[in-house]
Amino acid sequence: MSKITFLGAGSTVFAKNVLGDCLHTPALQGFEIALFDIDHERLQDSANMLNNIKKTSGSTSVIKTYTDRKEALSGAKYVVNAIQVGGYDPCTITDFEIPKKYGLRQTIADTVGIGGIFRNLRTIPVMLDFAADIREVCPDALFLNYTNPMAVLTNVMNTYGGVRTVGLCHSVQACIPELFKSLGLEKEGVKAKIAGINHMAWLLEVTKDGVDLYPEIKKRAAEKQKEKHKDMVRFEMMLKFGHYITESSEHNAEYHPYFIKRNYPELVDRFNIPLDEYPRRCIEQISRWKQMREDLVNDANLTHERSHEYASYIFEAIETDIPFKIGGNVMNTGLITNLPREACVEVPCLVDRNGVTPTFVGDLPPQLAALNRTNINTQLLTIEAAITRKREHIYHAAMLDPHTSAELSMDDIVAMCDELIEAHGKWLPEYH
């Protein structure tokens, strides 16, 4: 029996999408779906939910829960990762509140920036433990990483974990539908080429029937910028740098030095930037979970329709050898020629029985590659810190981050990092 292992299966809503999709995929019938989570109550909730979907879908797959990670991974053909180390309380709160004392404000804090750095530092050791288990009990498994910070964690699993890893993010799939809906354009028949790095990949080309749509897109975007809306940062970046970015404006506001500035507080209002957005979402999700749990876990007649998550389509393409195209995060083996080879990049990939094969992109427009490199610098120094356990590299990562360095002095950055290390306590390994 082939096996799909889901790490972080207590993420019940996400497990419904990814594994509910698998239960509805003909090529994946008869698989064992192995669930693992350190929260045993949430683990059982997800198992109950999936068994309800199994019943209503008629799936022949088998749902099993595990409290031993190595047993859950043993013999797996595919592994899906959706963990969050430290959760909202205490770690996300720490990531936001300590920087705020220094005057450094954030929106999401899960990619780069000071919050992204520390989310990486507490997640990388756990991921490397996963990798050690995988090398031992399922060395040929394909590892699909959905956990942020995407680029760094995917890089670490490939470079230091010795595990065949592809990172998956919703932003590539959502890019054209969201942009075209926002501008009142029809997306049917549109061709797009997207590449860059995770959360900062670029809509390089967008055409319909051979016609370049960018002039019309920019014209409508410039008009829309005259009134407040939810995507003002991305539109501003497109109008200034020439290309639209895949990830949302609330994310991109903190990836660059231009938008969240203490000395120019009017920018936050002008570009409609939701400071502290991620903690707000966490609080809302926690408050909604009781009702959601009732709807998802205790509904014996729960149904599911296959979503647009990539995972089941990747598995299906490998099992059937019917090709499928994705936007995947992979190591830059010369794929984007003006970004560092040691970086993780997001490029179009072809999936079939051979696995996930990335496609060659070549040079990005120079201004886009330059913007990507500002974030890659912090990513690579964060990895250096995690692998060497040298505190100085945490400082380097933070001092090279565009938003952090635009707001704080080097001394304040060092002091803030020291305070964050102290506050994280047992969530981090020892740094010297």
Fill in the DSSP letter of residue 168.
-
Strand pairing category for 355-358 and 344-352:
antiparallel
Tens-digit pLDDT profile for residues 19-48:
999 999 999 999 999 999 999 999 999 999
The radius of gyration computed from the CA coordinates of the chain, to the nearest angstrom, equals 21
Q: Are 70 and 76 a contacting pair, CB within 8 Å?
A: no
Q: Which residue has the tokens 């088998």?
A: 62
Residues classed as catalytic: 170
Please, is 365 exposed, middle or buried when counting C-beta atoms within 10 Å of its C-beta (0-12, 13-18, 19+)?
A: middle
181: pLDDT strictly greater than 90? yes
The pair of structure tokens assigned to 237 is 């970046």
Fold of 77-275+309-432: LDH C-terminal domain-like (3.90.1820)
Tens-digit pLDDT profile for residues 253-288:
999 999 999 999 999 999 999 999 999 999 999 999
- SS3 category, 141: coil
pLDDT tier at 314, thresholds 50, 70, 90: very high
Angle separating helix axes 113-137 and 410-424, nearest 10 degrees? 50
What are the residues whose beta carbons fall under 8 Å from the beta carbon of 271, sequence distance 6 or more? 232, 233, 236, 249, 253, 259
Instruction: Work out the average pLDDT over 301-316.
Output: 97
pLDDT tier at 182, thresholds 50, 70, 90: very high
Q: Are 203 and 241 a contacting pair, CB within 8 Å?
A: no
290: pLDDT strictly greater than 90? no
Fill in the DSSP letter of residue 110.
S
Give the end-to-end CA distance of the chain in Å, rounded to a whole number: 46
Task: Give the global pTM.
Answer: 0.98
Cis peptide before 215 (omega within 30 of 0): no
Instruction: Report the C-alpha gap between 137 and 290 in whole angstroms.
Output: 37
Per-position DSSP letters for 231-273, written without gaps between them: THHHHHHHHHHSS-BSS-HHHHTTTSSSS--TT-THHHHHTT-
pLDDT of 1 reads 83
Per DSSP, the chain holds a count of helices (H) and strands (E) of: 17, 12
Instruction: Report the C-alpha gap between 370 and 368 in whole angstroms.
Output: 5
Region of residue 155 (phi > 0: left; psi between -120 and 50: alpha; otherwise: beta): alpha
Instruction: Report the C-alpha gap between 219 and 125 in whole angstroms.
Output: 47
